[in-house]
Structure 1
Amino acid sequence: MLYCVGDIHGFTGQLDRTLQLIEADGGADAPIVFLGDYVDRGPNAKGTIQTLIDGQAAGRPWTCLIGNHDLMFWRFVTSGITQDAHILSNKGWLHHRLGGNTTLASYIDADDLQAATGMTNFATEGLDPTPTDALNSLKELAQNAVPKEHLDWIAAQPRFYQTHEHTFVHAGLRVGVPLSKQTEEDLTWIRDGWLDSDADHGNVVVHGHTALDFPQHHGNRVNLDSGAGYGRTLVPAVLDGGKWFTLHETGRTALTPTT
């Protein structure tokens, strides 16, 4: 059996519930693949990353892939970058829709955030575009507050994971391109040309990134982003005997391909 968890986005309560469901179904040492996007929008990015680090350190067989939001967080702290060409709206990472503001608020004291931005509501409203002085102050605060362990962990985690019949990524694949030739940008950002493809990818591709109301099995791919980043329930899944199931307090429910 193999368990899989979609985008968490800093909602540690959802993560705790999910880990309890998995433990009840498969035991404390059940293998889990996490599909990335551990930060942004939710209130406790710091706690989410620490939970995953602690689980791996305790020897849990957890594979933690990296998503685009994790990379945006890493790039801001290391380089002060807030923009990304993949964001078609041109919103920056500190815009509340992207959620970088909540991630910083989970690491940095509220008084320090107010001093840097002049805002009492930065944690909920964000600041985009960000004035240069505020941007520099926030970067300095983040570099002092975010543990190096968290940044090194993001940098070190894999961008994909593969079994005999399944390929796990955050966002998807560039259709027709071998896995070895996929770019980090495609693995963590892609939607166009991917979500509408009915191509046979060889393996079934399991991903998150594109939020749904509930996981969906499309035959050639399985989308497990159930929208936790938008206040919906994080729904874990289990692969058992070649079949997919979602996990709930009431047990398993078959996740079958849509027609």
Structure 2
Amino acid sequence: MRSYAIGDIHGHLDKLLEVQDRVAADKAQVGDRYAPVVHLGDFVDRGPDSAGVLTHLARGVAAGAPWVLMKGNHDRLMRLFLYEDPRPDPARPGVIWLDRSVGGRETLASYGIDVSPDVPIAEIHAQALARVPQDHVDLLDALKPGFRYGGVFFCHAGILPGVALEAQIEDDLIWIRDLFHMDRRDHGALIVHGHTPIKAVTHYGNRVNLDTGAAYGGPLSAVVIEGGAVFVLTEDGRRPLLPKGR
């Protein structure tokens, strides 16, 4: 079974289009139009064009592209802000979407919303409700916390070790870090995730991390997985990705 995955996008439409072109080129070479292309979440925040990313993804899904869109923690934070009564993330109530470190203001600015420091939060919220299109909200509502395809399990952040894949909860799938990263056991499937920026796509044996820091000026990365083998998609085609230490 063949599948593709793309790491954390964070509002970089240009980088997304570039890696989707790499995926399309690989699909054309192997003659496979239908293999799923899993986008690992964090579509918004920090980058310059979150609105453009969501528009592009919504159009592709509507056109029948074989894309699977995972939910990231930043995507959930955005959706929670877009309720009539904005609410904190129940798993991280201290994380404020409009704080500088999170990136929500950059996302709203991409919709033409005035997010200047002197604008009251209530006014920013009212602008957001008026300007974020309904199809973007619908897209955020439709994101998947986890997706299994053959021997691979895709999610944004990781899984809680020792819990069956079908019993994982969304809070862990979009937020977990250390407990998952430190666990070396076989999870019953290869876990493909993002969420934690690293310098290069890395295969740890039981998991593959695709977040190469697009949010902070790094590249956006993509892989193809087939027959248990993982390949990074580069400008020059596939590059085998072996588990560390092999």
The two structures share one fold, judged by TM-score above 0.5: yes
The answer to whether 1:76 aligns with 2:81 is yes
Q: What is residue 20 of structure 1 aligned with on the other side? A: 21
CA distance in 2, matches of 1:43, 1:97: 15
Change in 2 beyond 3 A, CA 1:74/1:154: same
CA distance in 1, matches of 2:108, 2:221: 26
Q: Deviations over 1:95-131 (max 9, x none)?
A: 222111100101134xx434xx427xxxxxxxxxxxx
Which structure 1 segments of 5+ residues have no match?
120-133
Q: What is residue 128 of structure 1 aligned with on the other side? A: none
CA distance in 2, matches of 1:34, 1:147: 21
Alpha carbons 2:202, 2:208 under 8 Å: kept: yes
Q: What is residue 230 of structure 2 aligned with on the other side? A: 244
Number of residue-to-residue matches in the alignment: 239
3-state SS of 2:5 partner: strand
Alpha carbons 1:80, 1:136 under 8 Å: kept: no
3-state SS of 2:159 partner: coil
Q: In the TM superposition, what are the counterparts of 1:92-111 in structure 2 within 5 Å?
A: 92-109=96-113
TM-score (norm 2): 0.91
Q: How many percent identity over aligned positions?
A: 40
CA distance in 1, matches of 2:97, 2:166: 29
From 59, 62, 77, the equivalent of 1:57 is 62
TM-score (norm 1): 0.87
Counterpart AA for 2:115? L
Alpha carbons 1:6, 1:36 under 8 Å: kept: yes
CA distance in 1, matches of 2:58, 2:133: 12
Q: What is residue 182 of structure 2 aligned with on the other side? A: 196
Q: Deviations over 1:55-74 (max 9, x none)?
A: 11111111001100000000
CA distance in 1, matches of 2:103, 2:115: 15
- After superposition, the CA RMSD in angstroms is 1.8
Consecutive aligned runs of 4 or more in structure 1 exceeding 6 Å deviation? none
Q: What is residue 41 of structure 2 aligned with on the other side? A: 36
Q: In the TM superposition, what are the counterparts of 1:1-259 in structure 2 within 5 Å?
A: 1-27=2-28, 29=33, 31-78=36-83, 79-81=85-87, 86=92, 90=94, 92-109=96-113, 112-114=114-116, 117-118=117-118, 134-259=120-245
Instruction: Report deviation, 1:82.
Output: 5.3
